[in-house]
Structure 1
Amino acid sequence: MERLDLILDRLKAFALTRPVAYGAPSFAAAGLLAGLFMQTGPQDGPYVPEMERVERPVMAEAEPIAWPTGKVPDYVIGTDSLKPARAPQPAVQYADYEPPPAPEPPPYVPVEHGPAAPPPSADETRWASAQGDILDVSLPEDAPRAPTPTVLAGINP
């Protein structure tokens, strides 16, 4: 019983807060007014449709079409079988002649090479990933400048 009283006390406290106390009645009134205005006519009788439904057969017969020229065009589906079949005209005429001979490649002449350059030594090999250059994101103008020579007053060198 104590638990129910505790729940009811919390519910009463929530219902008496300002947003709930003002919001619930105002939304209830707005809903009531909207419901009254949205009724489009008297609701006391059964629904009467304005037009009677027309029953049509599922398979209606197609009416014949009168073509202006008297001939049914080729693009009408199903009429291509009405014309007699005839042999298709060849679109390409082939010529009968000897192809030209294949060109002969020039003779192979071996090339004389000079001495090969020696491979670079291990010290001269400079890979970007080995020297860490790939991770260097500094700009050339960010390089450290040469220090400005300081001249001390009163000391003769």
Structure 2
Amino acid sequence: MTFKLYPMKLLKLGFFVLGFALWLTSCHEKGRAQGTVDTDAMMIRIAELTIDSTYLDEYLAILKEESAASVRVEPGVIAIYPMFEQENPTEIRILEIYASREAYEAHLQTPHFQHYKTTTLHMVKDLRLIEMAAIDEATMPQVFRKLNP
């Protein structure tokens, strides 16, 4: 990580934490009283992508732009957290957490997602979307609290 990127990553993390905190305040009374979140309403997914190595740098730049915009401007986007395999950087994994199915459907219509999808389509060699469910609702808010320095 270079010094120039550090403030931007800190800013992105701040937007992510702020968005998650705002979402937590909208959880139903029972969930707040117990310190848990209502994951039944949420949509949680892991996207597994294989990117053509010829386009990897370009793809990563577009993905970073799209994920940051999604978390920053969409209230229903709790997390879009892209990662890559250390030993194989063309293998991308994205943790996606939406407040609801409706929030996900709205995300698909945004200009930043449409730009991402249309400009990277030829770069993606393989895509697998895996629907997930939370095991421990009580721990989820604690994970994000630990990110606050």
TM-score when scaled to structure 2?
A: 0.18
Higher RCO (Cα < 8 Å, 6 or more apart): 2
Higher helix share: 2
Q: Quick check: which has more Rg, 1 or 2?
A: 1
TM-score when scaled to structure 1?
A: 0.17
Higher strand share: 2
